[in-house]
Amino acid sequence: MNRIVILGAGYAGLITAVSLAGRTRRREDVQITIVNAEERFTERLRLHQTASGQRLADLRIPELLAGTRVEFVRGWVTGIDTAAHRVRVDDGREIEYDRLVYALGATADTDTVPGVGEHAYTLDSAHDAELLARKLASLGRGTVVVCGGGLTGVEAAAEVAEQHPGLDVVLLGRQEPGSMMAPKAKAHLHAGLARLGVRVVNGVEIVKVRPGSVDLADGTSVQADAVLWTSGVRVPVLAAAAGLRVDGSGRIVTDPALRSVSHPQVYAVGDAAAIQQGYGVLHGTCGSGLANGVHAATSIVRELDGGEPRTFRFGYLHAAVSLGRHDAVIQFTHPDDSPKRFFLTGRPAVWYKETVSSIAWPSFGQLKTFPAMGAFVWRRGGRFTR
């Protein structure tokens, strides 16, 4: 029996599971297990909507996997024994594997800056986003500070401002929002934030989060009735603790086929993998995670059939940013993620963004039956070859 265990059921882990299930559905010598802390699938692309108080679909992983022979195990992974090929779960279970897919992702870095863990909200899960939604609903008036000028911070600030017009929203961070965009696209993004009443303060360093304020390195403070932290991420320490080779950020270093360079029976996909491409190390996006997962599933099947996995290649296609429910910016990019001249705004961009955000879940179901679709479906999130 070939025992394949997948750790994490986010975008990358879940597409690995359904792709493997589809490609091995006629084989009796393959056993697939996926381990995840929650039964609910986290639509990370929509957590800013949840945080603003919008109700989204309750998507259940076991329901998706029904009929696939994939075993779903709910639990937190507490350790990996790479010598014994065994995974430990918090309820005491030990799951043995022949091949492991590490897809545990990343979470907000709440340790680097004092006070973040105690006084700030995050968008790590639907539960975390719902906690912030309840807080915002209780305020009525006040100031919400969103820390981090990246795309997650921009989307969250815009959504909160649109859904809670009585609140003052401040977007605070080192980088200028939209810094990766071409000038006209960036200008539209800033105009959209201004239209929604978001006050942008960039070029600042946050040194501490207090119960009612955010302290800056220049000695000033920003008053805050609620703080959302979107600045920086961290990965679980499980990989390093298990002896897998990791980079300076704790991500598993992979070979060109997405296998761990120190433990080739372990594949690493998604945000917890340090995947080298010609233009540098891949940074985490939904599109790249989906492409990782499809490639890992295809490669494992190749190995089961006695072949060798092929090199993973990925090129970025776009940066898709919502500005509330009625505006968005789609910056199309070169494969190395540098901006092209072409971009979308307004209603066409809203439609495009909604299409990108909605494609994953129904496609998971389709891949159970038509696994070959994996080579084509994710071109909207990026270009890749097997």
Q: Are residues 161 and 245 in the same domain?
A: no
Q: Are residues 9 and 87 in the same domain?
A: yes
Q: Are residues 156 and 250 in the same domain?
A: no
Structural domain count of the chain: 2
Does position 381 have pLDDT exceeding 50, yes or no? no
**What tens digit of pLDDT does each residue of 132-153 get?**
999 999 998 999 999 999 999 9
Does position 382 have pLDDT exceeding 60, yes or no? no
Q: Are residues 252 and 191 in the same domain?
A: no
Q: Is residue 383 part of a domain?
A: no
Does position 256 have pLDDT exceeding 80, yes or no? yes
- Give the domain extent around 255: 2-37+75-106+235-315
Q: Residue 54: which residues within 8 A CB-CB, separation 6 or more?
A: 159, 163
CB atoms within 10 A of CB 367: 25
CB-count exposure of residue 348 (10 Å: 0-12, 13-18, 19+): exposed
**What tens digit of pLDDT does each residue of 152-181 get?**
999 999 999 999 999 999 999 999 999 999
Q: Is residue 272 part of a domain?
A: yes
Does position 305 have pLDDT exceeding 60, yes or no? yes
Residue 23 banded pLDDT, cuts 50, 70, 90: very high
The domain boundary residue, chosen from 206, 229, 252 = 229
Q: Are residues 136 and 87 in the same domain?
A: no
**Rounded mean pLDDT of 254-269?**
98
Q: Are residues 203 and 271 in the same domain?
A: no
Q: Is residue 203 part of a domain?
A: yes
Best CA proximity match to 95, nearest among 62, 73, 70, 65: 73
- State the CATH number of the domain containing residue 203: 3.50.50.60
More confident residue, 378 or 359: 359
Does position 210 have pLDDT exceeding 90, yes or no? yes
| Mean pLDDT, the chain, whole residue set | 93
Q: Is residue 277 part of a domain?
A: yes
**What tens digit of pLDDT does each residue of 307-330 get?**
999 999 999 999 999 999 999 999
The domain boundary residue, chosen from 189, 212, 229 = 229
- d(CA 247, CA 354) in angstroms, rounded, equals 34
Q: Are residues 14 and 97 in the same domain?
A: yes
Q: Is residue 181 part of a domain?
A: yes
Does position 42 have pLDDT exceeding 60, yes or no? yes
Q: Are residues 100 and 154 in the same domain?
A: no
Residue 359 banded pLDDT, cuts 50, 70, 90: confident
The domain boundary residue, chosen from 315, 336, 354 = 315
Q: Are residues 174 and 277 in the same domain?
A: no
**Rounded mean pLDDT of 69-87?**
97
Q: Is residue 42 part of a domain?
A: no
Q: Is residue 252 part of a domain?
A: yes
Give exposure, 61-92, as e/b (b: 16+ Cβ within 10 Å): beebbeebebebbbbebeebebeebebbbeee
Q: Is residue 61 part of a domain?
A: no
pLDDT for residue 371: 67
**Rounded mean pLDDT of 79-100?**
97
Q: Are residues 160 and 306 in the same domain?
A: no
Q: Are residues 266 and 177 in the same domain?
A: no
Does position 386 have pLDDT exceeding 70, yes or no? no
**What tens digit of pLDDT does each residue of 96-121 get?**
999 999 999 999 999 999 999 999 99
**Rounded mean pLDDT of 257-268?**
98
Q: Are residues 157 and 304 in the same domain?
A: no
